[in-house]
Structure 1
Amino acid sequence: MKISCFVLAILVFLQSCSKEKTDTQQPYDDINFRTYWNPGTAEINSYALQEAQFGNLNNGEAIMVFSTEDFRKDKHVKLETKDREKAVKVLKLNFIKRFVTGIHDFSLYTSVFTPVQTQEYPSTLKVSNTNQDWSGQTFLQLNFRQNGYQVLGKSYFDEEIEDDYHIDKALLEDELWTRVRMNPLKQLPVGKVILVPGLSSLRLRREKPAPAIADVTLQPYRGDSTFRGDSLYAYQVKYVESKRSISIIFEKNFPHKIAGWEESYLANNKVLTSRGILKGSIQNPFWQKNMPSDTVYRKKLNLKY
């Protein structure tokens, strides 16, 4: 699946016009960053969720699990050997959404792997996504290859059984969450930006990954008290063609916790706005907390499901 040369030329020109906020210091050079994102623990955040689907807002829950790990540059998997030269340090996000539509439920799971050595590895290496509901399952994965992304997909649905194609390099919407946690005020691009929309949103709308033009702003949050935190900022993406928009609300100061988000799109002449609002946050080596007594941590996160 290729974009035409004419459209690609326009996209490249617009990308060059975007206002990149560069910073010579990489996130992992900062002692506060290395201390907070210690490989021995993870940051777990829970959110009250309202997810738009089937023309309605549906109640649910979302979880964001951030951690750092050594990630193989060749195979795009977690390093489990001593071959350190094959790995790069990444900030990993596991982003889970669960919500109910009528009698049946949805479970959306996205994993993002973004290098913290941003000068040497400026692109996110991998994003994978699975969506499950009572109808069936879908799988979608983007791997950074040949200065772009290889798209691999599998689906239960007849019209999208299998995808295997290459798209040109662009910023991924799914990596905005990890980049917010690094150095957002200096590194996030604004203006006309080429983005690949979030994989979960694409799968819910039955659309394929492809670069799209968006108007992007970064400014202090000026909304109501829905989102809470210190010195909040809003990073807003408005897609020109689809009219879909997403706004990530985060704290200005390190570690730039994400207070929530809003995602709006037009369906059947009605604008629906999904929303996630932070309700709990802990740092925890969850992979070690697998005994029945460890459910106490779920209570600290106010998890219902």
Structure 2
Amino acid sequence: MRKIRSGAIDAATALVVALVFAILFHPARVRAAKRTGPAAATAPVASDPAFGTYWHDGKAELDGYRYTVTRYGRERRGHAVAVYVTEPFSRSMRVKVDDPSRNPKDTFDVLKLNLIRDFQTGIYDYNTMTSLFVRSEDFEPVKVSFVSTEWCGNVYEELLVNPGLVSQKLSSYFEGESVAREERRPKEGILEEELFLLLRGLNRPYLAPGDSRTVPFLPGSFRRRLTHQALQWTRARIERLAAPRTLAVPAGSFHVVVFSVRIENGAQGTFFVESSYPHRIVRWEWNPLVGSGRWGADSNDSGELSGSARLKYWELHDEGGERYLARLGLNAGSR
């Protein structure tokens, strides 16, 4: 009788152990465990419910602009393109990840903005691009890169943004300009490049109607390039005007929210943001403040929306793909 009871206990114990192992190592539980920790950042938690469905549809938002800038004291016309797209990003290398599954703990989701500004100055042209990368979960900036190419030479700048610190690397063709340095990042400080995302309110409204705030402000790479200013924090007052308005641009007529940005001893900016989602930048303009000799006339910079589309542009590189430029209000080869 004891042998039978002992055998029953052994069988019951084996059954319990088997059940525990089955629960602990069930494939669904293992997959869920792999998603915890740093890799969980690949799933954005932005508060606007439209963010996830709109920005993770496998396409990019492409916005074309008729562009005007002052260079060498004269007004120049060109075109600008803003490319917004989400992608996996490396926490350690600060570059796009080709295969997130290879190192999920080092991978997180970013929203990237590439802002291209091209314009002619007499016989030669300027080709510039600013790239901004922000974490999708909280819109914290992690990197800015900037390149300027014209007939005299090339300039490349990279800013790695960390809590309390900005690390700059500037490589320039021009003597005496290359530098590597670190600059303290003030609490609540924002980079000029962030305005194209913050003011859109893609995860939450930046300001309520009629509200304003004054923040530490780092002038953007493009502005510092044209005005030959060093990396240095200043302050800016950002205000959301109480009353929306209607604005006509080449892309059509839009109901917009208006933001004013006043850089201390610098420039005055105005951003006209589409009222309805996805809150595209319909127009922006910068002008130097009266008496701001530090910045000069080359602070003038503006763009008007000429067209917009959501496309997998990286698949449109074959002959004939240029026809999609018409949807952005642009022509192949035109200035």
- For Structure 1 versus Structure 2, the TM-score category normalised by the shorter chain is 0.7 to 0.9
Is 1:171 equivalent to 2:190 in the alignment?
yes
Correspondence 1:190 to 2:212: yes
Q: CA deviation at 1:221?
A: 5.0
What residue is the counterpart of 1:154 in the other structure?
171
2:306 touches 2:330 (CA, 8 Å); kept in 1? no
- Say whether 1:236 aligns with 2:257: no
Aligned residue among 73, 76, 81 for 1:63: 81
- Show the 5 A alignment for 1:24-39: 28-39=46-57
- Identity percentage over the alignment? 25
Match of 1:143 among 155, 160, 171: 160
Number of equivalenced pairs: 276
Instruction: Go from structure 1 to structure 2 and tell me whether the alpha carbon gap of 1:97 and 1:31 turns closer, same or farther (over 3 Å shift).
Output: same
Shift of 1:57: 1.0
Q: Deviations over 1:156-198 (max 9, x none)?
A: 1113122322332421110111223444762359321111111
Provide TM-score, normalisation by structure 2: 0.75
Q: Provide the residue aligned with 1:5 in structure 2.
A: none
125-134 or 170-179, larger mean C-alpha shift: 170-179
Aligned-residue offset at 1:234: 1.8
Match of 1:87 in 2: 107
- Is the CA contact 1:232–1:249 (under 8 Å) kept in the aligned structure 2? yes
- Tell me, in whole angstroms, the C-alpha distance in 2 between the residues paired with 1:183 and 1:209: 28
* 3-state SS in 1 of match to 2:96: coil
Show the counterpart of 1:213: 235
Give 1:134 deviation, angstroms: 1.2
Larger RCO (CA within 8 A; separation ≥ 6): 1
Q: Deviations over 1:40-84 (max 9, x none)?
A: 110111100111111111010000010111112222111223122
Note the C-alpha offset of 1:31.
3.8
Matching residue within 305, 308, 311 for 1:281: 308
Mapped partners of 1:274, 1:87: distance in 2:
35
Cα-Cα RMSD: 2.4
Q: Which runs of 5+ in 1 are unaligned?
A: 1-25
Query: C-alpha separation between the residues in 1 aligned to 2:104 and 2:48?
Result: 21
CA distance in structure 2 between the partners assigned to 1:115 and 1:292 by the alignment:
35
Stretches of structure 2 that go unaligned for 5 or more consecutive residues are: 1-43
Structure of larger gyration radius: 2
2:326 to 299, 302, 305: 299
Higher helix share: 2
Structure 1 residue 204 and structure 2 residue 221: aligned?
A: no
SS, match of residue 205 in structure 2? helix
